[in-house]
Amino acid sequence: MSLASVGTNCSASALPSDVLTTGIYGMKSRLRKAATPYIAVSFALFFFLAECLAQNVRAHDSVEGMRTFLAGMPKAELHLHLEGTLSAETIVEITNRNGIDYFTTAAEVEQSLADRPPGLMGFLEHHFKSQNVMQTRQDFYDATYNLIEKLHENNVIYADLFFDPQAHTSRGIPFDEMFKGIDDGRRDARAKFGVTVNLIMCINRERSVASAFEMLDQAHAVRDKIIGLGMDSGPEYGNPPVKFRDVYARAREEGYFLTGHHDVDVRDSVKHIWQSLDIIGMDRIDHGLNASDDPKLVAELARRGMCLTGSPVKRASDPEPQDIDRIRALDDAGVCVSLNSDDPAEFETGYLTNMLVLFQQASEYTKSDMTRLMFNAFDALWLLQDEKDEYVDVLKEYAVNNDIDWNEVTR
Ligand code: ES4
Ligand code: ZN
């Protein structure tokens, strides 16, 4: 960022008023008298510019200080779609490798992203096109491995990763081929980068209940390698959580943790969140930020310690990340809400560090506030308490080393 783009507060109050009003040295000659105002103004200008520069440097330092703090923060990602992490270059590489007549240049991918209609369904239109390039076990391996390398660069030390089996099996890709690619990719990346990644298999909500049951059957042999069952895709209206009540009930019996998408500003969002709490018994709520519209729901989420995975993403055309006010309202009410990148290759917010930086700049949250939102992510992990505590301790040590009062984080 250039100095010029950093906001400052230079004003006339920065002028040394005594210099302006009294002149200097009390010079007596007419010439000196005539020159005095010019000298005084020069001095004033000098002080003014020096103060402006100092303010700019201080503001720049604090922006850079915050960026460094957020970049170095140990992180957890709980809302991240494997299929939303393919870069334009990777899409083209896989397309060429598979000899498909599809996106042939990265520019075409970028254009498709830029042209997508606003809203969830517009987003999914592009998302489906790009995920469909993946066909072989190698494609899934590469996507997973490359993603985890990116997570490591963002100091993400733990992630729950969504994947959409039905989006692939419906194209004729065997479940086992897809799954082995993902699982081997995460195993090798873990050995290399030390990032723990657990997998959440998602129901595509627009598909049938029978198809969701079939997916559970296909996953049976690798049940112990999948931590949770989620639900994504769309449209959400017409495909509410209760549609999959029996699928979720069986998944619960089989030991999966349960979650599901409640996209923001979808019709009946609040009703769907209540269903997911009271009928499905979800363990986390994905998005769900419309809960802030219903004070009773806010109180219930806080009472249950239920965590929401917020994703304040941003398209190139948006001035700032979405949903900041809702996240603030929920956080202020004591609801556990975290920040997540969702589909980092498909939003301008990108990977988690960049998203946190953009969110912080727009919200003006303090370092303690940003640490609390990250603490919420670690607090929401589906791990044993002592495993969770180990992660929280890593974050706590980082916070304390950065002079943050932990009581403000866990206020
Ligand atoms: C998605 Cl509903 C939704 N939102 C964001 N990313 C997605 N990928 C698949 N479904
Ligand atoms: Zn999502």
If you take atom 7 of ligand 1, which residue's CA is the nearest one? 233
Q: Which has the closest alpha carbon to 247: 201, 295, 284, 291?
A: 201
Contact 141, 184 (CB under 8 A): yes
CA of 232 to the centre of ligand 2 (A): 7
- 232 ligand 1 Cβ < 6 A: yes
DSSP, residue by residue, 156-212: EEEEEEEE-HHHHHTTT--HHHHHHHHHHHHHHHHHHH--EEEEEEEEETTS-HHHH
CA of 210 to the centre of ligand 1 (A): 21
pLDDT for the residue numbered 223 = 98
| Bridge partners of residue 160, in order along the sequence | 198
pLDDT for the residue numbered 7 = 38
The two tokens of residue 344 are 């980092």
CA of 195 to the centre of ligand 2 (A): 21
pLDDT for the residue numbered 8 = 40
CA of 261 to the centre of ligand 2 (A): 7
pLDDT for the residue numbered 4 = 35
**Superfamily name and number for 73-409:** Metal-dependent hydrolases (3.20.20.140)
pLDDT for the residue numbered 29 = 62
- Angle subtended at Cα 104 by Cα 103 and Cα 109, rounded to the nearest 5 degrees: 45
pLDDT for the residue numbered 60 = 63
Q: Spell out which residues have Cβ within 5 A of ligand 2, the ion.
A: 342
pLDDT for the residue numbered 40 = 74
As a dihedral over the C-alpha atoms of residue 365, residue 368, residue 369, residue 372, rounded to 10 degrees, the angle is: 160
372-400 in b/e form (b: 16+ CB < 10 A) is bbbbbbbbbbbbeeeebeebbeebbebbe
If you take atom 10 of ligand 1, which residue's CA is the nearest one? 233
pLDDT for the residue numbered 2 = 35
Contact 381, 388 (CB under 8 A): yes
- 234 ligand 1 Cβ < 6 A: yes
Domain boundaries, the chain: 3-68, 73-409
Ranges under pLDDT 70 in the chain: 1-33, 43, 52, 56-61
> Nearest ligand, CA of residue 202?
1
If you take atom 1 of ligand 1, which residue's CA is the nearest one? 233
- 344 ligand 1 Cβ < 6 A: no
CA of 47 to the centre of ligand 2 (A): 52
- 263 ligand 1 Cβ < 6 A: yes
Contact 112, 103 (CB under 8 A): yes
Q: How far is CA 46 from its chain centroid?
A: 44
| Token pair 């998005």: residue | 287
pLDDT for the residue numbered 341 = 98
